[in-house]
Amino acid sequence: MILLVLAASSARPQTKSAFNPDGKYPDHWWTPVPAVDKPDWEILPQAAKPGEVILSKRHELGILSNFAATPFTLQGTRYASVEGFWQMMLYPENASDPRASFPGLLWKHTRGEVAQMTAWDAKDAGAVGFENMKKMGIDWVSFNGKRFKYWSAESGEHYRLIVAAMRAKLEQNPKVKETLLRTGSLQLLADHYQEENPPAEWRYYQIWMQLRAELQKQR
């Protein structure tokens, strides 16, 4: 099982390498990991090229994952993680929501319960919600009573909400801000394989680079 390690020691020596020629970054961000028994979804740290870094859950950059337990409040509601926020939108908002009364659907959790989940618990709950969407033949999710497409080539409402959640995570968790700024000018990459040409909100690493640029301008 891959563990989220959100606080690696800052006392580790920083050495020069092809990935870290100026010694600006912790060298362990690129330390090769044996591929034996790695999960199929994972991209290991050594897959990065010079100038790049994988946002691996094997070290402190995992705090930038949507899976990370980094609670934040958005529009008056607390969420345990960006993943929980993301996946709860697949669930019925209330009894009048058509998803709540569609025949034959099983909801193992409430929307509020999913909002308080992290990591694989949230991801697995979302998988149930997605299967129910397919059974209903719908392509929308919802937030505060508003419906919008879940998967779109254009950056729509779902994208704007995910960016808002990531920004709230950044602003309300000092360790997230500290870690993001430590990545300097490195190109950030996902630690998992994605579908070809995914929607912009799936490319969370690019959103982090946009938010990092904003922070760097403020310094």
Render pLDDT for 141-152 as a digit per residue (tens, 0 to 9): 999 999 999 988
Same structural domain, 86 and 157: yes
Is the per-residue pLDDT at 12 higher than 60? no
Same structural domain, 122 and 185: no
**56, two tokens:** 């691996």
Is the per-residue pLDDT at 127 higher than 50? yes
Indicate the residue type of 136.
M
Residues 70 and 9: beta-carbon distance below 8 Å: no
Domain of residue 62, residue span: 27-67+174-218
pLDDT in tens, 98-109: 999 999 999 999
For residues 98-122, average pLDDT: 96
Same structural domain, 82 and 145: yes
Same structural domain, 93 and 140: yes
Indicate the residue type of 116.
Q
DSSP secondary structure letters along 139-178: -EEEETTEEEESS-SS--HHHHHHHHHHHHHHHH-HHHHH
Same structural domain, 153 and 94: yes
Is the per-residue pLDDT at 36 higher than 60? yes
Same structural domain, 107 and 184: no
Domain total of the chain: 2
The pLDDT score that the predictor gives to residue 17 is 67
Is the per-residue pLDDT at 16 higher than 80? no
Is the per-residue pLDDT at 120 higher than 90? yes
Same structural domain, 59 and 80: no
**Cβ neighbours, 10 Å, residue 171:** 12
Residues contacting residue 120 through CB under 8 Å, at least 6 positions apart: 67
The pLDDT score that the predictor gives to residue 15 is 45
Same structural domain, 77 and 148: yes
The pLDDT score that the predictor gives to residue 219 is 77
Q: pTM for the whole thing?
A: 0.89
Residues 121 and 127: beta-carbon distance below 8 Å: no
